[in-house]
Structure 1
C-alpha cells in the first residue's frame, strides 16, 4: 500500500521534552519497533492547550464520570481550555488518516485507563477508574480506532493484538477512502476471513451475512456498518485455541495433497502450538511452505498468514 501507516502518539513518547518537568518519556520499545514502518503523528494536549514547559503538574479532580483537570498546587482549572483546544485538534486528526493511537500511561490528560481521580473535598478516597481528559475526548470521537498506552505495550500479547488491528485498520482505510464498491468490500472481506475467525467467530459470521446482502443496502450505510463490525471483531484477542482452529481450517485446503508424513507433521505442530509449547510463527511458517508448495491460491491471499511484516516478530512468542 502506498499510503503511509499513521499512528497518533503522545509527543513525550517520541523523546520530545514536553513533560511538565521539562523531560520526556521516550518509549523505546515502541519507537524502535515501528520507526521504519509507520509515520508517527505526535500530540501533546497539555502543551497544545497552552501549558508551558516546564509547568505545574495537573491532576483529575471530581469523580471518574465527571472530573476536572486542575493544577496540583494552584487549583487552576484547565478543563475548558483543553476541551476547546481538543475540538479543533480532533477535527485535524480526523483528516490525518490515523490507524491507531498510543497514549501516555498514567497521564491525567492522555492516560486511557486507571487514571487517579482525586475527590473535590481533598479527602483520601482516590479513585483509580479515571480516563485522561484528552484521551476520553479522543476515544469518544474515534470509538473504532485501535488505542493503547505505552505501558500496556510492554506486554507482547497486547502489543501483537494492537499492531495487528493497526495493520487491518490501514488496509480498511485504503478501501474506505477509495471509491466504495462492492468488489472492494468483497475482496477485503475474503482476504481477511481467516484473520477475523481468529479473533471473533460470531462477529465474523455477522460480517459475512452483511456482505452477502450488501447490494440491498445504501453504500455508505453498508461500509459504516461493516467498519463497526470489523473494529468489534478485531478488539477480541486471539487465543491459542482460536488460532489452532483456524490453522486446522487452513490445513483442510491442502489436506488431500499432503503425504502421510506431512499430514502428521502438520497435526503435531498445530497441537504443540495449541498447548503453547511453541510460538505461532512455527505453524504459520509451515502453512506458508505448503501453500507455496501446493499452489493453494485461496490461502495465498489470506492476510492471516502474513498480517504484518515478519520483522516485527509479533508471532515469535509462545
Structure 2
C-alpha cells in the first residue's frame, strides 16, 4: 500500500491532546506523538464534549458516580455540586458528533477523563468513596455507536504494541472506506481480501478461517456479504498480534520463496524468523529480509508482494522497530 501525507486520514481526537486549553482548570494535555508525528498522516479533528455542551473553561470538575458498589451504571456529576448532572448532555453530544463525522477513521481519547476516558476512569459512590472503574460517558456512547471504528486512549499509545495495532486498524478502516466508494462486486471483494489475507492471519486464525468461509459463496447480496466481511476484518484486527502469530504468518509468506532462493538464503531467513519468535530481534528484521527476497523475485511473487501485512502503515513511522 502507498501512503501519502497529501491525503490525510480524518481522525477524531480529544481537543486537550492537541494543545487546546479546554480542560476543567484551563490547561491542556498536549500529546506530541499526536501533534508532531500522527499529524503528518492524520487530519486531526479536535473535540471537547464538555465545552461543546456549554460547560465553559475553566469549570467545576465532574466525576463518575454510581448509586451503590454493585451498580455499574454511572452518571457524570459535579465534584463540588452533585446536583450538576451532565450525563444525558454528554451522551447526546456523542450522538451528534457521531452523526456529523461519519468520515472518521479513528478516534484518540484523553485517558482518565470522566467524559473521554475509555478504560479505568475512577468511579465513585455518592458519599465520595472511590468504587472501581468505568468508562467516560461521551467515549462509551461514541464507542457504542461506532463499534468497528478504531478507538484508543492517548496514554495507551505509549505502548508499542497498542500503538501499532491502532495504526493498523486506522489505515485498514480508511482503505475500506476508499474501497466502498466504488460499487462492490464479488471480484473486487475477493481482490480486497486477497491483499488482507495474511494481515488477518497474523491477528486471528479464527477470523482468517471465517472470512474464507464467508467469501467461498458470493451468490447472495454482495453488499450484505461485504458488511459481514468488514465486521470480521475489524474484529480480527482488534485482537493484538503476538510473536507466535507473526511467526506463523512470516513462515507462510516464506513459503512463496521456497523454489526461488538458495538453500543458504532459506536457512538465513528461517533463522531470523526463529530469532524473532524467541524475542531476540524485533519484527522489522525478518520483515525487511522477507521483503528483500520477495522484491528480488517479483515475477513469481505478485500475490505475496501485494500483502498489506508487509506494509500496513507508513514505514517511516517505525512502528515495528520495537515489536
With the length of structure 2 as denominator, give the TM-score of the two structures: 0.93
Instruction: Show the 5 A alignment for 1:141-220.
Output: 141-214=145-218, 216-220=219-223
Instruction: Show the 5 A alignment for 1:1-318.
Output: 4-62=8-66, 65-75=72-82, 76-94=84-102, 97-120=103-126, 122-124=127-129, 126-214=130-218, 216-295=219-298, 296-318=301-323
**2: CA distance, partners of 1:161 / 1:80:** 32
8 Å CA contact 1:167, 1:307 repeated in 2: yes
Shift of residue 6, structure 1, vs aligned partner: 1.4
Secondary structure of the 1:246 match is helix
**2: CA distance, partners of 1:263 / 1:89:** 52
Structure 1 residues without counterparts, runs of 5 or longer = none
Q: Could you say what the CA RMSD is over the residues aligned between the two structures, in angstroms?
A: 1.5
**2: CA distance, partners of 1:83 / 1:297:** 48
Q: Deviations over 1:158-183 (max 9, x none)?
A: 10111111111111111123322222
**1: CA distance, partners of 2:94 / 2:251:** 47
**2: CA distance, partners of 1:54 / 1:157:** 36
**2: CA distance, partners of 1:172 / 1:258:** 35
Q: Deviations over 1:247-277 (max 9, x none)?
A: 1111111111111211111111011011110
Shift of residue 39, structure 1, vs aligned partner: 0.8
Secondary structure of the 2:312 match is coil
Runs of 4+ off more than 4 Å? none
Shift of residue 123, structure 1, vs aligned partner: 4.8
Q: Deviations over 1:98-155 (max 9, x none)?
A: 11111100000000011111112x152x223211000011011001111110111111
**2: CA distance, partners of 1:114 / 1:100:** 20
**2: CA distance, partners of 1:80 / 1:289:** 55
8 Å CA contact 2:95, 2:142 repeated in 1: no
Secondary structure of the 1:284 match is helix
Equivalent residue pairs, number: 313
